[in-house]
Amino acid sequence: MIEQAKSVTEHFATLPVRPTHLIRDRDGKFVPEFHAILEDQGIDIKPTAPRQPNQNAYAVRFVLSIKTECLDHLCVFGEAHLQHLLAEYEEYANHERPHQGLGNNLVSGETAQLVETASASKVVCSERLGGFLKHYHHQTA
């Protein structure tokens, strides 16, 4: 884990915006040296509460969505390719995919446009990543 911390801090140096917090579980593999390396980089480490597995539920669900909707269907050829796939999925999830927990609205806060009559519009499909991610919307005439 010490090597992982060193590696990730080198990667952080290349990012335009560096992370400021790390939320982690209480696994014993996170040794004090791991914390020291990240804290030297200005990262605040927050362990989850003991015996509270649902504290990480949102992160686990997000990772599951990326895996099942995107990464399970594709072969990843290196870090740059993975970054591209994740960026496309992020754009899709935040600006095109409606979420039931948000009243079928978008994460970005935009609301779906309601069409008064079906005859006044045409349904258009936009695709991402070669058709793995699809979004259907009405295009007015």
Whether residue 30 lies inside any domain: the answer is yes
Whether residue 108 lies inside any domain: the answer is no
pLDDT in tens, 35-61: 999 999 899 999 888 888 777 787 788
Whether residue 59 lies inside any domain: the answer is no
Work out the pLDDT band at 134, boundaries 50, 70, 90.
confident
Average pLDDT of the chain to the nearest whole number: 83
Domain that holds residue 30: 1-47
> Based on the structure, what is the number of domains in the chain?
1
pLDDT in tens, 92-131: 888 787 777 777 777 777 665 554 555 566 888 888 888 8
Whether residue 42 lies inside any domain: the answer is yes
Whether residue 40 lies inside any domain: the answer is yes
Per the listing, tokens 């499909």 go with: 125
More confident residue, 9 or 141: 9
Whether residue 110 lies inside any domain: the answer is no
Whether residue 76 lies inside any domain: the answer is no
Per the listing, tokens 């140096």 go with: 13
Write phi, then psi, for 140 (nearest 5 degrees).
-70, 150
Q: Which value, to the nearest 10 degrees, does the dihedral of the CA atoms of residues 68, 20, 57, 110 take?
A: -70
Whether residue 80 lies inside any domain: the answer is no
Q: Give the per-residue pLDDT at 117.
A: 52
